[in-house]
Amino acid sequence: MNKNHIATVALILVLVALVVLKSKDGFTLGGLAEKDGKQASSPNVIGQNTILRYNLTMDPRNSSEAAKLYYARREQLIRSFHGDEQVDHVMKNLKSGKNLIRWIGKARRQEQIEAVPLIAELLNHEDEGVRRVAAQVLCWFGDKRGFDFVMSKMEGPESDKWWSDFEKDFASQKPTEYLPRIKALLKSKAASRVEVYVIAKVLAQLGDAESAKYLLPVIEREPHMAVETILKLADVRDSTVTSLMRKLSSKSSAERFKHAADVVLANQGDTAAQQRLMETARRVISLPQPENPDGTYKPGLRPAMIGEETPAWDGNAFFALEKGMEVVDPALAVPVLRDIAIRAENVRFSETAIKLLAKIGDEPARNALWEAARSIQARKRPFEDRIFTPTGKALMLFNDATSESLAATMFSGDKHTMKVSQFLAETRGWDGLFKLELFY
């Protein structure tokens, strides 16, 4: 029996298993996002953008039917390239009860939906670390049992142990149906200033305006927490938020506070804030490459600690690039990102610009990626080979012959990575290629 035949048989078996899974344990394929045929959080596309491969009807978060087909195809791709053991070992080891944290993580990266019932059982495991990771992965799959478990811990007497999990799981997945329960939690924890802060950050990331009255005082009271807190307010539309951001942007003595405030203002359409972010982001272009061709650091360019300012590292400029350019009007952002992608002396910054161009996903961004790919292909800068694959993935988001041809060059003959990238571009969009950290 050849590999293709085995993979086909596996696909049929997975589809049968998924039909059974849908009816068990209260788990719905498509997760919490399945509401009236629409997904709660879609990739960065507007409507059905015809220049992109992404197809909403194929997204596993869109419907149970799409989820069945998606997860079956994911397993088939893994089996056909890596062999059956890559998949079967996960299930076998989850059942064995050994090294559970490792195998739960593998199930997530490989998106093995048939592992979800086993992972759900681990919410009752004696080891708190196992329970914690099981809840995280269930939330990642959009399984209500994961969110309910974390909420029950937050509502309990030892909620402080679950603050980081609560924020990560709820802010990343944005299950807005939990808003009433989270607001009730906030009221019940009113006596704890720290706990109120944690809960308010999650509310802010769910776009709830009520969070502002709890977070704004923290910005002025706790300077060391200000940047993180400011960024949590990016999606909150409230006049008090706008007023404080304008004050910080114009009067703050710390550049990092100004840039964080500008991110919030830029996201509200403030063109002056967008211009400031673009000007700051452009500074990465002239930062020198800190490494020699052999990977050793050039004299004076190795930081003593992560984030230390050196002639090769400008933290404020990188912040403006990574956090700021994402909220700048695409018509303004694309030319700046194109220049960084092609001209930055350090290709690390080029890679960030390429991912942001891919996230914008319109025709000018695609054309800028074409230019960047052709420039990278010429290998004019040191270490350009490091960004071949990210550039190939970015191009695979677009549904045209030129993008596919350039992507094939960037993948340098790696047909498997190209095939999986195309599948993820069609079904998950930008998130699948650059955010979800999926196994190929």
pLDDT tens, residue by residue, 145-154:
999 999 999 9
Number of neighbouring beta carbons within 10 Å of residue 80: 18
Number of neighbouring beta carbons within 10 Å of residue 367: 16
Residue carrying structure tokens 């938020």: 241
- Taking the C-alpha atoms of residue 288 and residue 286, their distance in angstroms, rounded to an integer, is 6
Q: What was the pLDDT predicted at 19?
A: 46
Tell me the helix, strand and coil percentages in the chain, rounded to 5: 70, 0, 30
Query: Residue 142 carries which DSSP code?
Result: T
Q: What is the sign, positive or negative, of the torsion defined by CA atoms of 316, 322, 327, 333?
A: positive
Q: Closest by alpha carbon to 314, among 256, 366, 268, 378?
A: 256
Q: What was the pLDDT predicted at 338?
A: 99
Say which residues have a Cβ less than 8 Å from residue 367's Cβ, sequence separation at least 6: none
pLDDT tens, residue by residue, 18-37:
544 554 444 566 554 444 33
Q: 394: buried, middle or exposed (CB in 10 Å: 19+, 13-18, 0-12)?
A: buried
Q: What was the pLDDT predicted at 252?
A: 81
Q: Is the pLDDT of residue 217 over 60?
A: yes
Whole-Å CA distances, 191 to 13, 156, 195, 225 = 53, 14, 8, 20
Whole-Å CA distances, 226 to 11, 71, 171 = 50, 41, 18
pLDDT tens, residue by residue, 230-276:
999 999 999 999 999 999 999 887 999 999 999 999 999 999 999 99
Whole-Å CA distances, 37 to 30, 34, 60 = 10, 6, 11
Q: What was the pLDDT predicted at 182?
A: 98
Q: What was the pLDDT predicted at 438?
A: 98
* φ, ψ of residue 310 in degrees (nearest 5): -135, 175
Q: Closest by alpha carbon to 354, among 403, 306, 314?
A: 403
- Taking the C-alpha atoms of residue 389 and residue 59, their distance in angstroms, rounded to an integer, is 23
- Quick one: average pLDDT of 305-314? 94
CB 160 within 8 A of CB 131: no
Q: What angle do CA 387, 418, 4 make, to 5 degrees?
A: 150
Q: What pTM did the predictor assign? A: 0.90
CB 162 within 8 A of CB 146: no
Q: Closest by alpha carbon to 173, among 197, 196, 198, 150?
A: 150
Percent with pLDDT over 70 in the chain: 89
Q: 270-292+310-440 adopts what CATH topology?
A: 1.25.40
Can you tell me whether residue 381 is helix, strand or coil? coil
Number of neighbouring beta carbons within 10 Å of residue 401: 8
Q: What was the pLDDT predicted at 253?
A: 76
Whole-Å CA distances, 208 to 171, 177, 232, 346, 399 = 12, 12, 11, 39, 36
For the chain, give every domain's residue range: 1-145, 175-268, 270-292+310-440
Buried b / exposed e along 7-16 (16+ C-beta atoms within 10 A):
beebbeebee
- Taking the C-alpha atoms of residue 209 and residue 213, their distance in angstroms, rounded to an integer, is 8
